[in-house]
A and B are shown apart, each in its own frame.
Chain A
């Protein structure tokens, strides 16, 4: 996978994960173009499209578009499954996830993604293990803060 983008139906970016180095300007340009292209697709169309020299796999969940760019030899169908697995993880973590959860807890969305994918590949295929790891990390974080400051539970 080269990158993953999450954006709303109005084209606002909610998450961006890049697995190949790109200049900032280039990232903005790519994001803008791709968002436009995907938003222009009609509902009956395929989840796959060819864009530049990459394959783009996208799926809409409620008001969020999940968009992945993969290389030519990658399997589009399994990428759809990867997207779905990520959504399931988010769902389990937040409990019936919606876009607002991702907006207000974007850093957590990143953490979950980083436990699931590493370098663009799935690192852990067990849902339970991923969620367990996140849980433990969260506990570690909490134990620090309750130890450090008595009143503030949410450091952020």
Chain B
């Protein structure tokens, strides 16, 4: 079997993307699939990721594989994560499943920075998290956490 130059990636909603093998290999999950796959390894399904997210992930991989030493890589990364929360979460999840360390670190750090220095209430507001504790449970938590300077 000759080594293919391009790989087709298929998202959960059926969208297909043709990418250079070198770019696809930036995802260790895909690398593993190719290495352990059989004759079918020119098309790889990525059922955990939708087309929209997969297209962005591919954009990231392309930049990092094709121009890893470019001076504007840092500004590319900074701009890459200037997206709304929902997209950021999808990127984090996709990079986790596809095992793309750089993108996982980048998206995780961006989300983590949104936690820093915030109170519990502020965290809930920022991420639209519903407080599902009952008043009794909250009281219990407060008692348990009385040792905790930081709640």
Chains A and B are bound partners: no
- A-contacting residues of B (Cβ < 8 Å)? none
